Amino acid sequence: MTFIIQGIGAAKGISIGMVHIIDSGQVDIDEYTIPETRVDDEIQRLDEALSLARAQLRAIRAKTPSNFGADVTNFINVHLLMLEDTVLTQVPMDLIRERHCNAEWALKIQRDTVVGVFEAMDDPYLRTRKDDVDNVVNRVQWILQHVERSDQATAERHLEGKIVFADDLTPADAVLMRHQGVTGFLTAHGGPNSHAAILARSLRIPVVAGLHNARLYLRDGEEVIIDGRQGALLLEPTGEILAHYQQLQRFIAHHHNTRQRLRTLPTTSANGERIILQGNIELPADATAATEVHADGVGLYRTEFLFMNRDTPPDEEEQYATYRNVLEAMKGAPVTIRTLDLGADKQVDGGRPGAPLSANPALGLRAIRLCLQEVEIFRPQLRAILRAAVHGPVRIMLPMLSAMHEFHQVQEILGSCRQELEREGIAIGKDIPIGGMIEVPAAAVCADLFARELDFLSIGTNDLIQYTIAIDRVDDEVNYLYDPLHPAVLRLIQTTIRAGQRAGIPVAMCGEMAGDARYTRLLLGLGLKEFSVHPNALLEIKQVISESHIGKLKKFAARMMRTINTDNRMALLQAINANTSAALSS
Ligand code: PEP
Ligand code: MG
């Protein structure tokens, strides 16, 4: 009889294979004090272990095939930076000198302090970053204790076709094991935000996370099935279940091949309508991922990421160079630069010094509101964008617009930046379209008024859903109410699309809903013609569009907007997606 253990589906896909269990390799730390005469030797021992850890990571990075994507090397680079940071190098050395503790103990004391800071954070994504600290510290502890690291231990093993079970995985483990042919990951801890999950999604390996007690039931070498869509681990599968999943695998593989064939073709629906499909990017390196899948440009460049994880904000010069790089990487395709969307869950290090605590940060001074208040942050960004526009087609997009006077204020500041640059004799781009994100219900309801003056609109469903249904998008306790299919959300989407059509300006969608294949046909039925999605999701969305006859989807969309019962909405969604590749995501 098949036995199912439910975890969290963290990366889609099906894998069937033998389990390979990796024990956590946690090392017991010896804690002891050393005599004054041995302090320098102990500091040197730690220094050598840190150097070796860095060398190991560099070796893994060098072995990473370039087609693994920017995510993978980014994670390894972050770990390398940590291994160079004084927080994990100098501070433990000072502890050895001051308290005469041994290297392992000093490292553990500092690890506990840093992890404590991460654990106190409200943001679930940032909380999981404590895993990085642990990954890095464990690596050094293993070296200090001469324990074989898991990435060295697995290097010689035959992992081809196997499914790996581990407590958690480091980015380095994931890269190495993918290289060795691992086809699936099971982890006792973690969830969709864990590094293993994020990496596996870019490596296209199914992951089921959060399988806390599964280790008790798993035997090394037994055959299992993992279903990354449903978050299920199936033990002792019967012949019938095995056949079902093998068929599902063939179906997925077939769709994957079809998608690869679509890569270089323009995005058109089954009835021949051209749809614009652009990429969302966070870092300049992501532009390469967007060009690899032949995106029609960048529909959302989240520039705030350039301001994070550093002590001082980037100046105009650095921003100009970065935007220019992105434009050059996109080779003439348009790049929509969203101005800074800081505040609420996206804080720069330490937030704004001296700023009062907001009781409702999501309703507070964030995005365009913050930029208009703190013009000294905003002006260098606008000047950098104007200068970068000489190197390719740029569009400026304003986040979280809720009133037209915000747009008018931006126009004024932009005009003065332009004049200033002209006076300084610096070349700037001309005719730069300015659009607004529709992510506040007020803007969606008044989209017709906004569309009279803005050059384009882009629907940010992540925020639009949170503000429409009044649920904090990062609050786990109310997450069950986060519903893209809520008729109120759909009505606001349709109002916005229609306002754009009447005004003759483009309307895109760049929130996560645009990149979720389950909703593609519904959105086409609502009249959406431009999607901006994570490059990883682009081909899947393209395939669904190519299978869709838009005329036939309109009546489904109209019915969905009238359906208040959740179960009925899910049934309707299944009916819209029946017999298409979108059904695979449902
Ligand atoms: C959105 O709100 O849908 C959006 C794309 O912006 P962000 O997720 O960056 O807030
Ligand atoms: Mg938003």
pLDDT score at 11: 86
Average pLDDT of the residues of the chain = 88
Q: Which two tokens stand for residue 175?
A: 């890269």
- Give residue 489 CA to ligand 2 midpoint distance, Å: 15
Q: Is residue 476 part of a domain?
A: yes
Closest atom of ligand 1 relative to the 439 alpha carbon: 2
Mutate to test the pocket of ligand 1, among 336, 437, 438, 523 (most ligand atoms within 8 A of CB): 437
In this structure, the number of other CB atoms found within 10 A of the CB of residue 36 comes to 8
Final residue before a domain boundary, out of 254, 289, 310: 254
Final residue before a domain boundary, out of 254, 283, 301: 254
111 and 78 in one domain?
yes
Integer CA distances (angstroms), 232 to 21, 22, 217, 224, 557, in order? 17, 19, 14, 10, 31
399: left (phi over 0), alpha (psi -120 to 50) or beta: beta
Average pLDDT rounded to a whole number, residues 168-195? 79
Q: Is residue 574 part of a domain?
A: no
299 and 342 in one domain?
yes
Final residue before a domain boundary, out of 254, 275, 306: 254
pLDDT score at 481: 87
Residue nearest to atom 9 of ligand 1 (CA): 302
CATH code of the domain covering residue 95: 1.10.274.10
284 and 236 in one domain?
no
pLDDT score at 213: 83
Say how many domains are in the chain.
Answer: 2
Q: Is residue 259 part of a domain?
A: no
502 and 465 in one domain?
yes
228 and 195 in one domain?
yes
In the predicted structure, residue 544 carries a pLDDT above the cut 70:
yes
Mutate to test the pocket of ligand 1, among 457, 463, 467 (most ligand atoms within 8 A of CB): 463
Residues annotated as catalytic are 195, 510
pLDDT score at 354: 56
**pLDDT band, residue 478 (cuts 50/70/90):** confident
**pLDDT band, residue 152 (cuts 50/70/90):** very low
In the predicted structure, residue 151 carries a pLDDT above the cut 60:
no
Q: Which two tokens stand for residue 23?
A: 């024990």
54 and 186 in one domain?
yes
pLDDT score at 229: 86
Q: Note the pLDDT tens digit of each residue in 251-290.
A: 888 888 888 899 999 999 999 999 999 999 988 888 999 9
Closest atom of ligand 1 relative to the 459 alpha carbon: 3
Residue nearest to atom 6 of ligand 1 (CA): 460
For the Cβ of 383 lying below 6 angstroms from any atom of ligand 1, the answer is: no
490 and 388 in one domain?
yes
Q: Is residue 53 part of a domain?
A: yes
106-120, 152-166, 270-284: the lowest-pLDDT one: 152-166
- Give residue 464 CA to ligand 1 midpoint distance, Å: 8
CATH code of the domain covering residue 502: 3.20.20.60
Q: Is residue 577 part of a domain?
A: no
- What is the residue whose two structure tokens read 């982890």? 187
32 and 72 in one domain?
yes
Contact between 134 and 110 (Cβ < 8 Å): no
Handedness of CA 34, 39, 44, 49 (dihedral sign): positive
Q: Is residue 579 part of a domain?
A: no
**pLDDT band, residue 58 (cuts 50/70/90):** confident
Helices then strands, each counted (H, E), the chain: 23, 16
355 and 242 in one domain?
no
145-149, 307-311, 316-320, 408-412: the lowest-pLDDT one: 145-149
Q: How far is the C-alpha of 67 from the C-alpha of 207, rounded, in Å?
A: 20
- Give residue 371 CA to ligand 2 midpoint distance, Å: 15
Contact between 387 and 421 (Cβ < 8 Å): yes
305 and 435 in one domain?
yes
pLDDT score at 585: 60
283 and 174 in one domain?
no
**pLDDT band, residue 125 (cuts 50/70/90):** low
**pLDDT band, residue 350 (cuts 50/70/90):** very low
Does residue 194 or residue 327 have the better pLDDT? 327
Average pLDDT rounded to a whole number, residues 64-86? 75
By residue range, what is the domain housing residue 290? 267-561
- Give residue 465 CA to ligand 2 midpoint distance, Å: 10
- Give residue 460 CA to ligand 1 midpoint distance, Å: 5
Q: Is residue 262 part of a domain?
A: no
283 and 245 in one domain?
no
Ligand nearest to the CA of 346: 1
For the Cβ of 511 lying below 6 angstroms from any atom of ligand 1, the answer is: yes
In the predicted structure, residue 586 carries a pLDDT above the cut 60:
no
Q: Is residue 582 part of a domain?
A: no
